[in-house]
């Protein structure tokens, strides 16, 4: 994949860039593996906005991606590499020997015609899904299970990869993209390789309209509001709020720790990502 720069026909297009989609081999998804995605506009079942600055966006269908890949010992062939509007990395449509089809996350370098498999007896090669126990140290992996059999939860975004640092007792030490080193059970499965669409982080939207296509509405600053709408609003002329930064409901928004550490999961963190 490579990036294309747009011609500077307008000031907003001058710095914009996008993918050339050269690796995409199909323009339409495999319909039986898709469902309609209904938007919420950030509203809950009562119609109240609970997640702000969301709404509109392009119509899309959800691609049902198989994160478990529980069909062990059966080879599959990559039929297409496709764009998924619901995620940043590419997806691959694979067909098993018994003609069953499914979508998986496309690893970097995976091409149409390649053979992939899953299970403890699979080879350690790009696109194969096997237990951490059977993957050598230093190997890049993605789509990692937190608990065996629960499906991949970690490292699923474009260009994402984790590395197996070491193995100790029944756990593997994985260095995640955030810098955190975490213990994962050796019986948990992971996919060998790096997530595709590595250049995604370098894409520049260039104009507000492209954000709207993604369902992102304008984010209004608190100091630009009226006093009735936000604690930082109002004032004669332009003000910086006159108090420490807070949310619309008065909760401090810089530095206040709101996260409740789950002791059952934090014990698996060997090195914190902020270290």
Angstrom distances, CA of residue 118 to CA of 41, 71, 111, 143, 185: 38, 7, 17, 13, 18
DSSP assignment, residue 133? G
Residue 57 main-chain phi, psi, to 5 deg: 90, 165
pLDDT of residue 1: 67
**Segment 5-57, tens digit of pLDDT:** 999 999 988 999 999 999 999 999 999 999 999 989 999 999 999 999 999 89
pLDDT of residue 249: 92
Using a 10 angstrom Cβ sphere, with 0-12 exposed, 13-18 middle and 19 or more buried, the burial of residue 65 is buried
Distance CA 122, CA 131 (A): 9
Asked if the model's pLDDT at residue 265 lies above 80, the reply is: no
User: What three-state secondary structure class fits 199?
Assistant: helix
Q: Which residue carries 């995605």 as its tokens?
A: 37
How is the chain split into domains, by residue range?
A: 3-201, 226-270
Using a 10 angstrom Cβ sphere, with 0-12 exposed, 13-18 middle and 19 or more buried, the burial of residue 236 is exposed
Number of H helices, E strands in the chain: 2, 17
User: Mean of the per-residue pLDDT values for the chain?
Assistant: 93
- Report CA dihedral (109, 18, 90, 59) to the nearest 10 degrees: -170
pLDDT of residue 144: 97
Distance CA 141, CA 113 (A): 21
Distance CA 242, CA 165 (A): 48
Distance CA 31, CA 29 (A): 6
Q: What is the fold, at CATH topology level, of the domain defined by 3-201?
A: OB fold (Dihydrolipoamide Acetyltransferase, E2P) (2.40.50)
CB 231, CB 250: distance < 8 Å: yes
Buried b (16+ CB within 10 A) or exposed e, 179-216: ebbbbbbbebbbbbbbbbbebbeebebbbeeebeeebb
**Segment 179-231, tens digit of pLDDT:** 999 999 999 999 999 999 999 999 999 999 999 999 999 999 999 999 999 99
Lookup: tokens for 204: 């520049």
Distance CA 145, CA 168 (A): 18
* β-strand partners of 49: 43
Asked if the model's pLDDT at residue 262 lies above 80, the reply is: no
Asked if the model's pLDDT at residue 105 lies above 80, the reply is: yes
103 closest CA partner among 36, 31, 42? 31
């Amino acid at each position: 994949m490579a990036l294309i720069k747009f011609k500077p026909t307008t000031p907003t297009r001058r710095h914009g860039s996008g993918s050339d989609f050269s690796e995409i081999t199909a323009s339409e998804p495999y319909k039986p593996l898709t469902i309609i995605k209904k938007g919420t506009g950030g509203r809950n079942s009562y119609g109240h906005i609970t997640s702000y600055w969301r709404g509109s966006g392009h119509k899309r269908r959800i691609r049902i991606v198989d994160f478990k890949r529980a069909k062990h010992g059966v080879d599959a062939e990559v039929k297409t590499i496709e764009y998924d509007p619901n995620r940043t990395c590419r997806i691959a449509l694979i067909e098993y020997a018994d003609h069953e089809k499914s979508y998986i996350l496309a690893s970097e370098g995976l091409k149409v015609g390649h053979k992939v498999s899953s299970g403890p007896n699979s080879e350690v090669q790009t696109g194969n899904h096997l237990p951490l126990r059977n993957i050598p140290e230093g190997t890049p992996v993605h789509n990692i299970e937190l608990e065996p059999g629960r499906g991949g939860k970690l490292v699923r975004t474009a260009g994402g990869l984790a590395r197996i640092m070491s193995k100790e007792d029944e756990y593997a030490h994985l260095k995640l993209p955030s810098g955190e080193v975490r213990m994962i059970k050796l019986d948990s499965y992971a996919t060998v390789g790096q997530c595709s669409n590595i250049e995604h982080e370098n894409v520049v939207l260039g104009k507000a309209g492209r954000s709207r296509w993604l369902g992102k509405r304008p984010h209004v600053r608190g100091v630009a509001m009226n006093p009735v709408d936000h604690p930082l609003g109002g004032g004669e002329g332009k003000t910086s709020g006159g108090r420490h930064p807070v949310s619309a409901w008065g909760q401090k928004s810089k530095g206040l720790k709101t996260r409740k550490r789950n002791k059952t999961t934090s014990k698996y963190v060997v090195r914190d990502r902020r270290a």
